[in-house]
Amino acid sequence: MRLDELAAFLRADRDWRDEVGRRLVAKLDQRLLRSARACGCRPIAHVAEQLDSQACVDLGPGAPYQLAKAVYGHVRLRGAARLRQTARSLRVLGVYLCGNDLAHCPCTEALARDPQQAQVERVVTGALDGAGF
């Protein structure tokens, strides 16, 4: 799908924010979310990319890594599928936390490239459904 199409949908339809808040954000430590928001979405996108590529990820003390651990703990899958769905959920969370133009958000870019989602209106819910949120 095209990035501009996804960014336009996310800007126009704000219901997805309520759904992410209810299904994902409410399950996470709010202090951790504030710390992650202060870091910006680029570090979250970087961690998601590491998880998605199944690279060796050193989940250190930084907020994006702690956020990845927290999300991973809620994903109800096993093995590589768990890593992939954690990465997708982190990207959704990155878009949720991003205060920048969504057309330049690396998490939005990654979601637009996601081959599992062809329908713009199902990107957020598809990622959350796939992770079991």
Structure confidence by residue, pLDDT tens digits, 39-49: 888 999 999 99
pLDDT at 2 > cutoff 90: no
* Helical residues (DSSP H) of the chain, grouped into ranges: 3-12, 15-23, 30-39, 41-52, 63-74, 79-97, 106-113, 123-131
Q: What's the one-letter identity of residue 54?
A: Q
Q: How far apart are CA 108 and CA 85, in angstroms?
A: 15
Q: Convert the pLDDT of each residue in 73-130 to its tens digit.
A: 999 899 889 999 999 999 999 999 986 678 889 999 999 998 877 788 889 988 999 8
Comparison of pLDDT for 23 and 98, the residue scoring more: 23
pLDDT at residue 24 greater than cutoff 90: yes
Taking the C-alpha atoms of residue 12 and residue 59, their distance in angstroms, rounded to an integer, is 35
Q: What is the pTM of this model?
A: 0.90
> Any idea where the domains of the chain sit in the sequence?
3-131
